[in-house]
Structure 1
Amino acid sequence: MGALWRTGIGSWCVAASALGIGWWPAAASATGVRLEPVAQGLQNPWAMASIGEGRWLVTERPGRMRVVEPDGRLGEPLAGVPAVAAVGQGGLLDVITDRDFPRNRRVHFCYAEPGAGGNSTAMASAVLAPDRRSLQDLRVVFRQTPKVDSRLHFGCRIVQAGDGSLFLTLGDRYHRMQDAQTLDNHHGKVVRVRPDGAAHVDNPFARPSGPPSGALPEIYSLGHRNPQGAALGPDGALWLVEHGPQGGDEVNRIVAGRNYGWPVITYGENYGGGAIGEGITARAGLEQPLKHWTPSIAPSGMVWLRSDRYGPSWQNSLFVGSLKFRYLSRLVFEQGRFVREERLLPEIGARVRDVREGPDGLLYLLTDDANGRLLRVVPGA
């Protein structure tokens, strides 16, 4: 990152020349919100899930899961977490609570799983013990295949649908990007499985008429690069944010069976310059993003805000964290079309890895560094 300086209105600017991009005005914190610390001392936290009574379950990428108490105290790492491949971008990644968590205390999480041939993204579920010190009844319900020797592009965001089934985003593993266009592997895909791991019967390649030869029945959509944000939208559809290469980060609304184009079409380019493939941004039969960013903001974590705690203008906005530029982005869509973007809270000063709405209707952020923080976004006076 380039140098930062404080402006006269209390915002932070980034030295545009150091970023290699054009200048834009700093996002002022004139929107009437401010940051409030909840906890600190987390090592590269990746995801958080509310477990009630003001407590949060947080994953740390090196392979730990712990409870953050209402007063910000960090619990000891939970016992029962499986071994993870904490290499590169891999490790212990997303976590959500089951829709019936108050009754069954079940959580779903995903991680980089080591194994023969390398590693891959896996998804497991387990029961959080009543004393909140361990995971019990661990079940691995999905494993991305094939495993490859890679430190990159695990994807790994989980969304639970209304029927209890689970969507999981899967990266292309970087050097296997061409796999995102074929159906005989899980690279660069979104999959949908039941809680027991079986492919959902309504998946586009698991229908009674029979999938295309060699197609894996878990696949829900294809042509993705590295989706690190996912959420159900107000329209009931699955929405993703995903990393482009050098430019071309995307927001996509996912429809079963559709192909989102990577690496055939992209608004980005190779690192260091040069076209990817034919260097095209559109082709018949491939989906266009609803919003894309160039230069890349490195999006990770996203949530649709349902509450009106910040006033009606923010309700049903999409919030996305930026790892690269270290702010929170508010995106407005109307009838499925992108309208505008507002860059918020540049004073965060750290990579924003996850964004969630708490039971109190407020936004919560995780910052990704060696002294990671859990932050609450509160309305101003």
Structure 2
Amino acid sequence: MEPAQELQLQTRDSNTFDPSAANRIPPLKLIHYKWWLRVSIYTVFLLTGQSAATLLGRLYYDKGGNSKWMATLVQSAGFPALLPLLPLLSSPLKSTTPSSSSTQPKVSSLVLLYLFFGLILTGDNMMYSYGLLYLPVSTYSLLCATQLAFNALFSYFLNSQKFTPFILNSLVLLTTSASLLAINAGTENTSDVSKGKYVAGFLCTLGASATYSLYLSLVQLSFQKIIKQETFSTVLDMQIYPSFVASCACVAGLFASGEWRGLGKEMEEYQEGKVSYVMTLVWTALTWQICSVGLLGLIFEVSSLFSNVISTLALPVIPILAVIFFHDKMNGVKVMAMLLAVWGFLSYIYQHYLDDSKLKAHKRISNEVARSAVEIC
């Protein structure tokens, strides 16, 4: 988190104070506001991208789409849309120390890292596809809500995430919100599948939630321990290259499974027509990329747990959008779920506000120590 880095820099510099260095350090308020602006932009990317992609994915299935590999492919195939941004976004996002800015990760390490994350995404997206295919929407949504609990566990062990009463309150509220939506969905959707397929869908969805949570924590850990490059381009690299690997794996699966033979018929029979079929897939791919950039940006700026909290916040947002675009009914359970999610989100934000206030207090103390050192000299 950027304010913490600023505090560390100031604490080290207070022992060897250079008066001329004060003119080279950006004002603390400016740095603070820039950080919140970036977090806000990433949050908007994540919420809008995830909501739009989920609605478009539902539209694909509702109008006649049935290819599991195609539904998995579009979750990663939109990465070429991000390539033009790379030359424009190479400036640092945060203040870096000389050691971190001069350290370059090995190319072989990056290749293995991108390959590893790409294969994780492929398996994770496929498990979600099978879960949605075999489970009622209520059970599927309820299992997806466990992602936040899994992420809290992995963040504690891998990312040294500290838990406070406000963070725990946020986790409970957001999980309860998602659970209410899942239970409510049980009155709207039913699915008749065999017991074996039901168990397979249950295990796939639960495994996908745990795998995705592990993926978020590992991405944060790789930024800290391996990449060590604090630029927006590194965030895009972490999205583009694993997406390329995942797309290649999905294309291979599409041909190996033989599903590619039925795509022509699927397009012909799509209820909204061929053009709508293609545009649905294209926009689904693009919105998933917007969602992923927001997700990785929040991991980079804050933590994997925070990004997952924002992702869970989208669960009650999607029914609101469904009311607007698909004319779904809004009942009391959905309203309650939305209010709980907003409460949980504000609880988590308030904890970050308290942390930021403490950092500001330490900053003022460091500045006073520095001024005292100058007066003594």
Q: State TM-score, norm by structure 2.
A: 0.23
Find the structure with the greater CA-based Rg: 2
More helix by share: 2
- Tell which has more relative contact order, 1 or 2 (C-alpha 8 A, sep 6+): 2
In proportion to residue count, which structure has more strand?
1
**TM-score, structure 1 normalization:** 0.23
